[in-house]
Chain A
Amino acid sequence: MAEQDWKEDKKAFWAVSASPLLWTVLFFLLPMSFVWLYSFGSNVGLTEIEISGTLDNYKRATQWLYLSIFLKSFGVAAIVTVLCLIIGFPVAMALTFASEKWRPWLLLGIMLPFWTNLLIRTYALMIMLGSNGYANKAMGWLWDGASWIKTLVGLQPLPTWEPVQLLYNNLAVVLGLVYVHLPFMVLPLYSALDRLDKSLIEASLDLGAGHLRTLLKVVVPLAMPGVMAGVMITLIPALGAYLTPDLMGGTESQMIANVIERQFKRANDWPFGAALSFLLIYAMFILIALQGLRRKNGKEAH
């Protein structure tokens, strides 16, 4: 039999790609298009939905009440992403420059949370942050210590320690989301930094630059693809976060996913929930498109 390039063999191509393609169509595109159709429909009766092509759901979804929650979700996701970047960059640097012996263990430390259920991790964090949690206990202990030292040197003791409210507010949501999404930021950053030719760093030092200048002028610019990947991979799931604000947030720290969930469940208003969902999806598409455009421009500028 004559030799044949399998890449050019149409039958081989279809044999390999048919099943993933079928999977995507059956279990992603098809159900999502039903949700999309629902967003143009209205409730008739308790369980029946008529797809009438109405835009009412979208009109309602763009009311200030919902728009403000969208904007707030964006704000929270942006803050979470920036915090993840600030914390994640040094972590990724440490991973990159760790010795061969330590690196696998450090990587394991980053990956370990992935292997634990999100719900359990969130509750565990809540135990730490509660009014009687360890965070408060530790702060109280430090407070008492400071007070004791003050009396020791003859000063007035501090007033009694009042536990700080660490849960059920916006801060708790941000904290929880940073905790959950940090590995998503660290891994692409690490992969970008690991690929960086280390002699570029040495060349910068060799030419007289200090470590900070080397970081800002050489390492960060060259790690930019990793930064952008990390930002996208953190921002998008943070934007659609549901569990963390639900468990750790207060009444004022609702994010858009919580509102959507309420439409599908308690309000039993699937068309409106679908419209809200698709607004969120469109927003993500725009983000990804912007990122793609930026990369294309970056390539052309060269």
Chain B
Amino acid sequence: MSDKSPIIEIRNVSKRFGKVTAVDDVSLDIEPGEFFVLLGPSGCGKTTLLRMIAGFELPTEGQILIDGQDMAHVPPNRRPVNMVFQSYAVFPHMSVADNVAYGLKIAGVGRGEREERVREALELVKLGGFEARMPDQMSGGQRQRVALARSLVMRPKVLLLDEPLSALDAKLRAQMQFELADLQDQVGITFVTVTHDQDEALSMANRIGVMHKGDLAQLATPADLYEYPANRFVADFVGSVNIFEGTLSVDEPDRAAVDCPGVGKIFLNHGVTGPHGADVWVALRPEKIYLHVPGQGKAVTAAAQDAPDGHNFARGQITGMSYLGDITLYDIKLDGGETIRVSRPNLSRHDQDDFTWDDRVSMHWRADSPVVLLS
């Protein structure tokens, strides 16, 4: 196995169930050692794609290669991948040790080595000493660890995880996000995870493939996905965002401007290379907007001076707010008529008292904050 070639190659894969197209001509390479996440809303085809890699579904068209080998005629039990199921699928009639040893027994691994590897795998997932437990005596989180150990003990080339954290409560989920990333680091196996949860994807992945209606909407690192979404769907699905429709009025190599009715002119400090006068969309993240009391923003408006052709500046009135502890969200009706959402970290304990309903506010944002979307 050469280190450079992708471990999984998905070439023009489509999957149709009757008249429904679940996956539509997707091509995608996954590199060895990568933590790859397929992200998308339910019904976007991400699970179908994962199941095609595992071999539980066959592509209607296209080809899947694992480690350079065409998988078209390789059944699931012969593929060098293992899967952690959404329901964990821990065998309820077998002890933890028997669950983990199941695949090794089939592979013909001798008793001595088998016991050693089972012990190691359980230690890896922090379940040392749980060998004799039955699954119905364990919590959901523990059962998931059994499922992880049962797959990892097989030393697969790729570990597939179907919504691995969806059944856990919020606290445990956050903890498992870190643990999974750690674990992947430790074992060096390629992980391919399916999730609908953007936080999960952003925190664990090296690279994310966002799926939308069977298409691959964008393929990028977490930071690129968040900061440079390719289209409205990605911008909206990953994180929260203000999206304004407008026309591209200025488009030069070092600056651009979009006329957004209801907001005003939005300036950018880079070119867009879109057709002049075209209908475009501007995406602006709520946390990238600075909020201040009208007339008191002299110092901060100076920061907006880096907009070459004017200031990204607006005024409005707070029509709604929601205090979330670490941040507060404000819905502000701009004087132009549009509503914009702004988030503001509560840096000191009494920050939440600063702005409230019906307050007049002004705001600005840097010229490198807005993203122009063509679709």
Contact = CB atoms under 8 A, between A and B. Distances in A.
A207 B154 contact: yes
A222 B154 contact: no
Contact of A203 (B83, B106, B134, B137): B83
Nearest to B153: A207
A205 B76 contact: yes
A139 to B, nearest CB: 40
A204 B150 CA distance: 11
A207 B93 contact: no
A221 B87 contact: no
Contact of A208 (B77, B87, B89, B92): B77
Interface stretch (A28-36, A43-51, A194-202, A247-255): A194-202
Given A206-B83, A207-B150, A208-B107, A200 B75 contact: no
B88 to A, nearest CB: 8
A202 B136 CA distance: 20
Interface string B290-307: 000000000000000000
Contacts of A281: none
Interface string B125-157: 000000000101100000000010011001000
Interface residues of B, number: 26
B264 interface: no
A213 B108 CA distance: 14
- Say what secondary structure dominates the interface of chain A: helix
A195 B151 CA distance: 24
A209 interface: yes
Given A208-B77, A209-B77, A221-B93, A202 B85 contact: yes
B56 interface: yes
Contact of A199 (B85, B102, B137): B85
Interface in B132-191: 134, 136-137, 147, 150-151, 154
A218 B91 contact: yes
A154 interface: no
Contacts of B103: 207-209
14 contacts: A200-B92, A204-B102, A205-B75, A205-B76, A205-B77, A206-B76, A206-B82, A207-B150, A207-B151, A208-B103, A209-B77, A210-B77, A213-B106, A222-B92
